[in-house]
A and B are shown apart, each in its own frame.
Chain A
């Protein structure tokens, strides 16, 4: 009907499941080789942040925010959203290298390459993220945006049903 809106699929997003991460950093390596032809994690768009003494590893990358602070802060409007791939992109022909975006990103996902003197960020490898392709354990994954919440719902629901079953079992035991 005219005036009614539908929840169209939003396309795919990069999801991160830190509890799965083995900390191997292959994602950092393939990212730098794919984009720059060199092995050098300092050039990687994704970075594994580690608490080694507790065995905790968290992959950090661009969230491709809807209201991206980098996009808002950019004084020359070099940063824009590419809705076709659900990503935030930098136009280096316009970018003046002021690094405001690096400062403002709440996830530390905007990098600055001191060799090329340009900022850099995740571009989702134009729809085939190499970090996802190489991560066998799926600590990073590339899924339909609406599936992210569904998987989480199911996981939470499982916990609730397990608790319910346990409660029922306990109740029947006491009789």
Chain B
């Protein structure tokens, strides 16, 4: 049974390992995955602890549906206090690791302390061993995984690892599995590195009994048909996420030259079709691959076609790489994109964060805030692939003054660089923004300003807001499983109704992360995809756990509130530019210079934006300062947290 998967507490300082069952009561309250991780984080970290010190606690988990028949149930979640923003650290990845963890008997790992030398965890069929990682330290992401398989003599082992960036405590280092699946935001790889934990290897052959196998099979078939019949997923399955970058750039929603422009020009070489053409040439007509059990298969396989890295195999690039390595630094080169993508995959660093920070540094160099003295003579100019690739290496290996400073993340780097460098840093809560430019889309601006892990598109973005869906479609989506009769607008430049949409998506995405399924299988990019109603059924058929759509919604609201409580405990205040629900001044002051007619000239209206935040706080049950009202906590059953039940 999925519900009898265990939780393991591993103290790397003492070597003590404790294994416990997960009480049903907590399942019903937080479901699993990210929701239960939020509970564990709030209960197992001391206020104000050093994110890179032994007191920080790292959670690793699969969702409650992990490895069951619910389509794409492989999502792995990692959580800790973030070394990047000092608030919630949280990242999510696909691949094949958590199913293996579940077949080995576990859903949750809680890792404390710090090993005195590099180690890795070896988890097999209910047993956990701490092993010497001397021979793994220094290895790249993929070499580490292959070396573990060789050492333990089993090719079916799946591992969660860090690369050199995690070892070097780059504050936005990834936790990774497979060729490119990355828990890439908020520096969870640096937390692993700080604990001297190089990898977690899992292998399992333990049955997960499906509660109602026949129904689960049939419902999964229906689920898959629904998912694969959506045009957006068919496009994902052909071009991968680059299609989103292409579509967004065409109307002017992609930040270019850090934040100077909102559209990249003359970029045929890195359009999704060009990337796809290279995949066809170097791999063949069938060049898409997928995560465990997923029929969307949105990940491309490629070989680098030209240059010093020609012939090297990798996977991706995702649209984050197009943004971070092409539009933000304004480098319209396919080779540059594929090489940069390969380097970050091998060294294990967040593509989005590193590209964004390098582009910021390029703007500072253009303005004279950074000079050849700080760059050790490197011409850090927009458009220079050489400068971008050099900086990626300097950051991952902390070489030179600037490499070392940028490895600390934007907030610390801005303090060290000084002058008015912070004004140009495009971040929220210390976390760099995606390449998307939200000045023409207030709903998306509200999403990045209020996302729990800092600026982020995967925590509450109502991406379907861009489709101008008819009122009745919006009404149908947004008034279930809880009623909503307030206004809704089909217009993406509007401010009306958006706070509810952001609130709804915040809970939808939390539910997905608790269940452990992928966001491409819900109302993220496709308006017709499954959500609460369907989850209630797949949950029952697969695990036997009975939860109504409303109960799943409530659990998501509760888990989101716990993340909020954690952030408040670590110093979140509403208007703080470094730790609050606030955007960089450029969103309000610099109009969009390019793009479609309804985009050009747009800025975010400060007054309307703050009204949206007020309304959003109301839906969440927060006061004007963003702090939960006492009755909110009581209604959610959170008035006694931390409750230390697990």
Residues of A that sit less than 8 Å from B by CB:
19-20, 22-26, 29-30, 33-34, 36-43, 52-55, 57, 115, 130, 133-134, 136-137
Q: A30-B217, A40-B207 are in contact. List 7 more A-B contacts (CB 8 A).
A: A22-B297, A24-B292, A33-B69, A37-B209, A38-B210, A134-B224, A137-B286
When A39-B210, A133-B221 are in contact, do A25 and B293 touch as well, CB less than 8 Å? yes
Q: Beyond A26-B295, A55-B289, is A40–B206 a contact (Cβ under 8 Å)?
A: yes
Nearest-neighbor residue (CB-CB) of A32 within chain B: B207
Partner of B288, one of A22, A30, A33: A22
B67 touches A24 (CB 8 A): no
B642 at the interface (CB under 8 A from A): no
**B286 in contact with A136 (CB, 8 Å):** no
Q: Which B residues are in CB contact (< 8 Å) with A39?
A: 67-69, 103, 207-208, 210
Nearest residue (CB) in B for A50 is B155
The verdict on B387 contacting chain A, using a C-beta distance below 8 Å, is no
Residue with the highest number of chain A CB atoms closer than 10 Å, among B288, B293, B301: B293
Whether A52 contacts B208 by the Cβ 8 Å rule is no
A-B contact pairs, 7 of them (CB 8 A): A22-B286, A24-B295, A24-B297, A25-B292, A30-B217, A39-B67, A53-B179
Q: A33 and B217: CB pair below 8 A?
A: yes
Residues of B within 8 A of A (CB): 67-69, 96, 103, 142, 146, 178-179, 205-210, 213, 216-217, 220-221, 224, 228, 283-295, 297, 301, 313, 315
The reply to whether A29 and B313 form a contact with Cβ atoms under 8 Å apart is: no
Closest to B72 in A: A24
CB distance from B96 to the nearest CB of A (A): 7
Chain A residues within an 8 Å CB radius of B295: 24, 26, 134, 136-137
Kindly report which residue of chain A lies nearest to residue B67, judged by CB atoms.
Answer: A39
A55-B301, A137-B286 known; A37 vs B210 contact (CB < 8 Å): yes
CB neighbours of A54 from chain B (8 A)? 313
CA distance in complex: A30, B291 (Å):
15
* Cα–Cα, bound, A134→B297 (Å): 14
On chain A, the residues within 8 Å of B301 by CB distance are 55
Q: Is the interface of A mostly helix, strand, loop or mixed?
A: helix
- Please give, as numbers and ranges, the residues of chain A lying within 8 Å of B67 by CB-CB distance: 29, 39
Question: B284, B290, B291 — which one has the most chain A CB atoms within 10 A of its CB?
Answer: B290
**Are A38 and B209 also in contact (CB < 8 A) when A24-B295, A53-B313, A136-B228 are?**
yes
Contact across chains for B313 and A55 when beta carbons are under 8 A apart? yes
Cβ-defined contact, B96 with A137, below 8 A:
no
CB-based contact B290/A22 at 8 Å: yes
| Residues A23 and B69 in contact in the complex (CB < 8 Å), given A33-B217, A37-B209 | no
In the complex, what residues of B have CB within 8 A of residue A24's CB? 289-295, 297
Interchain CA distance A36-B285 in the complex, whole Å: 36
Residues of B near A137 (CB, < 8 A) are: 286, 295, 297
For the complex of A and B, the 10 pairs showing the least CB-CB separation, nearest first, are: A42-B205, A38-B207, A55-B301, A22-B297, A37-B213, A24-B290, A39-B208, A22-B290, A26-B293, A136-B295
Contacts of A37 in B (CB 8 A): 209-210, 213
Distance (Å) between the CB of B307 and the closest chain A CB? 20
User: A20 vs B301: C-alpha distance in the bound complex, in angstroms?
Assistant: 12
* A23 nearest in chain B by CB position: B289
In the assembled complex, the Cα of A19 lies from the Cα of B287 at a distance in Å of: 9
Alpha-carbon distance A54/B289, docked complex (angstroms): 12
Most-contacted residue by chain A among B213, B285, B287, B288 (CB, 10 A)? B213
A53-B146 in contact (CB<8A): yes
Decide if A33 touches B213 in the complex (CB within 8 Å). Answer: yes
State the CA gap A20–B208 with chains docked (Å).
29
Task: Kindly report which residue of chain A lies nearest to residue B155, judged by CB atoms.
Answer: A50
Within 8 Å CB of A53, what residues of B?
Answer: 142, 146, 179, 313
Smallest Cβ distance from A32 to chain B, in angstroms? Answer: 8
Residues of A within 8 A of B208 (CB): 38-40
Closest Cβ neighbor of B209 among chain A residues? A38
Is B224 touching A136 in the complex (CB atoms < 8 A)?
yes
